[in-house]
Structure 1
Amino acid sequence: MQKIRTTTLSRATLMFPLALVLFEFSVYICNDLVQPAMLAITQDFGVSSSWAPSSMSFYLLGGACVAWLLGPLSDRLGRKKVLLAGVLFFVLCCLLILLTHNIESFLALRFLQGIGLSVISAVGYAAIQETFEERDAIKVMALMANVSLLAPLLGPVLGAFMIDHVSWHWGFIGIALLAFLSWFGLKAKMPETKVSIPKKPFAYIWDDFKQVYQNKRFLAMTVALPMVAMPLMLWIALSPVILVEELGFSSMQYGLAQFPVLGGLILGNIVLLKIIDKLALGKSILMGLPIMFFGTCLLMFGMIWQDYLLWCLIIGMTLISFGEGISFSVLYRFALMSSEVSKGTVAAAVSMLMMFSFFIIIELVRVLYEHYHLWAYTFACFILIALWFSFPRAMLKKILAERVEQGQF
C-alpha cells in the first residue's frame, strides 16, 4: 500500500488544482465546443449527420485505450512527468486535426485527443486524491468540476458562433493555446508526489489490474460512475441532433438551452460543497440518485405527453445533472479508495471502465436513435439510473455501515 503525505486545502495549495483545471477545461471544451459544430463538420466532409455523436464516442474511446499505461507509468515515473508530457501530446493533436480532410482522419485525431481524458482521470485526479485529505480532496474535485463546467456552458454558445461566423478550425487553435498555458502552470505549481511503492517491472501491471478488477467493492462503485454520468453524457452527444434537427432549434437557441441543464450540475456541486462537512460522507449520493431518477421519469412523461416534451426534457435533464453534481465526486472517491493497489493503477482502472462504458453506450444509443429517436434516448437514461438502485446501492449502504462502525463521519 502507498504511504502518502496529504495536505490541507489553502490558497497556496490551491494553485496546483487551478493549473490542472485549466487543462481539464481545455480537454472538456475540446468536446463541448466541437459537438455543436459537428453538423457543419459532417457537411464539410460530405457525410451523414448520424456521424455527429461519433466525434464524442471516439474521443472517449481514446481516453479509455491508454489509461492502463498512463496510471502505472505515473506510479513509477511520477505524476508530474507523465502529466506534463500528456499536456504537450494533447496540444499537438489539437493542431494536427487542422490538417484533416475526411471524417476518418478527423475521428482518428479525435481518438488521439481523447488521451487527454486519461491524463486527467488516471494521473491528474490521482494526484489530487493523494495531495489532499479526504474531504478536502472531494471539495477540490467539486471546485474543479464547477470551473471545468464552464466548458459545456460556453462550448455550445462558442460552437454556435463558429458555425455562423468562422471556421470550426479556430476552435482547436484556441483549445491548443489554453492547454499550452496550463502546461506552464502545472510545471510551476504541481508538487512532486513521493510515493513509497515497490519498484516492479511492467510485467506486474497485469497482476495489479487483475487484483483491482477482482475487488467487488471497486466494481460496484466504479460501475456506478457511468450509470450516474451517462445521461448527461448522452445529452451532450445527442442534443445537437435532438434540439436542432428534431425540434428545429437554431444554433444559438441550442446553445442557450444548455444553460439550465449544465447550470444544474454547477448548482449540485455548490450544494455538495455546502453540505459535505455536515453529513456523513456518502449521504449526498443517497440524496442525489432519487432526484436523478425523478428526472428520468419526467423525460418519459414528456415522451408520452408530447405537448410537454420540451419542458420535460429541459427540467428533467436539469434535475438529472443536479443529482449528478451532489453525487459524482463522492462516488469517485469511494471507487478510487476501494482498493489498496497504487492509486495510479486504480485511477487507470476506473478511467478505462468508465470510458469504455461511455463509448459503448453512446454508440449503442446512437444506432438506436436512428430507429427510435427520442424514445431511445429517454429509455436509456431511465434504465441507467434505475440500475443504480441494484448492486451499487447495496454496496454503498455496506460501505456507509462500515464507516459508522469504524467511527468515520
Structure 2
Amino acid sequence: MQKVQTTALNRSTLMFPLALVLYEFAVYIGNDLVQPAMLAITKDFNVSTDWAPSSMSFYLLGGACVAWLLGPLSDRLGRKKVLLAGVMFFVVCCLAILFTQNIQQFIGLRFLQGMGLSVISAVGYAAIQESFEERDAIKVMALMANISLLAPLLGPVLGAFLIDHVSWHWGFISIAFLAFLSWFGLKSKMPEQKVSIPKQPISYILDDFKVVFKNKRFLGLTLSLPLIAMPLMLWIALSPVMLIEDLGLSSMQYGLAQFPVLGGLILGNIVLIKIIDRYPLGKTTMIGLPIMLMGTIILLLGAIWQQYLILCLILGMSLVSFGEGISFSVLYRFTLMSSEVSKGTVAASVSMLMMFAFFIIIEASRELFIHFHIWAYVLTCFVLIALWFSFPRMELKKIMQERKARGEF
C-alpha cells in the first residue's frame, strides 16, 4: 500500500487543485461544447444526426482504454510526470481534429481526446486523495466539481454560438489553449509526492489489478458510481436531440435549459461542502439518492403527460443533479479507499469500469432512443437510480456501520 504525507487545505495547497481543475474544465468542455455543435458537425460531414451521441460515447471509451496503464505508471514514475505528459497529448489531439475529412476520422480523434479523461480520473484524482486528509479531499473534489461545472453550463451556450456564428473548429482551438495553460500551472504547483511503493517490474501491474478486482466491496462501490452519474451524462449526450430536434427549441433555448439542471449539481456540491463536517460520512449519499429517485419519477410523469414534458424534464433532472452533487464525491472517496492496493492502480480500475459502463449505457441508450424516443431516456434514468437501492446501498450502510464501530465520524 502507498503511504504519502497528507497536508491541510489552505490557500497555498489549493493552487494545485485549481491548476488541475483548469485542465478538467478543458476536458469537460471538450464534451459539453462539442455535443451541441454535433448537429452542425454531422451536417458538415453529410451524415445522420444519429452519429451525435457517438461523439460522447467514444470520448468516454478513449478514457476507459488507457486508464489501466496511466494509474500504475504514475505509481512507478510519479503522478506529476504522467499528468504533464497526458495534458500535452490532449492538446495535440485537440489540434489534430481540425484536419479531419470525414465523420470516422472525427470520431477516431474524439476517442484519442478521451484519453485525457483518464489523466484526470486515474492520475489527478489519485493525487488529490493522497494529498489531503479525508474530509478535506472530499471538499476539494466538490470544489473542483463546481468549477468544472462551468463547462456544461457554458458549453451549450458557446456551442450554440459556434453553430450560429462561427465554425466549430474554433471550439477545439480554445479547448487546446485552456489545456496548454493548465500544463504550466501543474508544472509549477503540483507537488512531487514521494511514495513508498517499491520498484517492481511492469508485470506486477496485472497482479495488482487482480487483487483490486477480486475485492467485492470495491466492485460494488465502483459500479454504483455510474448508476449515480449516468442520468446526467445521458442528459448531456441526448438533450440536443430531445430539446432541439424533437421539441423544437432553438439552440439558445437549449443552452439556457441547461442552467437549472447543472445549477442543481453546483448547489448540491455547495451543500456538501457546507454540511460534510456535521454528519457521519456517507449520510449525504443516503439523503441524495432518494432525491434522485424522486427526480426520475418526475421524468416518467413528463413522458406520460406530454404537455408538461419540458417542465418535467428540467425539474426532474435538476433534482437528479442536486442528489448527485451531495452524493458522488463521498462515494468516490469510499471506493478509492476500499482497496489496499496503490491508489494509482485503484483509481485506474475505477476509471476503467466507469468509462466502459458509460460507453455501453450511452450506446445502448442511443439505440433505444432511435426507436422509443423520450421513453427510452426516462426509463433508463429511473432504472439506473432504482438499481442503486440494491447492493450498493447495502454496502454503503455496512461501511457507515463499520466506521461508527471504529469511532470514525
Coarse TM-score class (shorter-chain normalised): over 0.9
Deviation of the 1:287 alpha carbon:
0.3
Counterpart position of 2:194? 194
- Counterparts of 1:4-403 in structure 2, within 5 Å, are 4-403=4-403
CA distance in 2, matches of 1:325, 1:224: 15
1:160-212 superposed Cα distances (whole Å, 9 cap, x missing partner): 00000000000000000000000000000000011101211111111111110
SS in 2 for 1:66: helix
Structure 1 counterpart of 2:38, which letter?
M
Structure 2 counterpart of 1:296, which letter?
T
CA distance in 2, matches of 1:4, 1:403: 22
Counterpart position of 1:2? 2
Deviation of the 1:231 alpha carbon:
0.1
- Percent of aligned pairs with the same amino acid: 78
CA distance in 1, matches of 2:315, 2:226: 21
Deviation of the 1:76 alpha carbon:
0.2
CA distance in 1, matches of 2:376, 2:209: 34
SS in 2 for 1:192: coil
CA distance in 2, matches of 1:387, 1:37: 33
TM-score w.r.t. the length of structure 1 is 1.00
1:340-380 superposed Cα distances (whole Å, 9 cap, x missing partner): 00000000000000000000000000000000000000000
Higher mean Cα deviation, 307-316 or 230-239? 307-316
* Aligned structure 1 segments of 4 or more residues deviating by more than 2 angstroms: none
CA distance in 1, matches of 2:251, 2:85: 36
1:319-351 superposed Cα distances (whole Å, 9 cap, x missing partner): 000000000000000000000000000000000
CA distance in 2, matches of 1:352, 1:283: 27
Unaligned 5+ segments in structure 1 are none
Structure 2 counterpart of 1:236, which letter?
I
CA distance in 1, matches of 2:376, 2:48: 19
Structure 2 counterpart of 1:340, which letter?
E
CA distance in 1, matches of 2:274, 2:58: 36
CA distance in 2, matches of 1:340, 1:316: 38
SS in 1 for 2:196: coil
Structure 1 counterpart of 2:91, which letter?
V
Deviation of the 1:12 alpha carbon:
0.3
1:58-110 superposed Cα distances (whole Å, 9 cap, x missing partner): 00000000000000000000000000000000000000000001000000000
SS in 1 for 2:268: helix
RMSD: 0.4
Structure 2 counterpart of 1:24, which letter?
E
TM-score w.r.t. the length of structure 2 is 1.00
Count, aligned residues: 409
Structure 1 counterpart of 2:387, which letter?
L
SS in 1 for 2:10: coil
Deviation of the 1:261 alpha carbon:
0.2
CA distance in 2, matches of 1:194, 1:224: 32
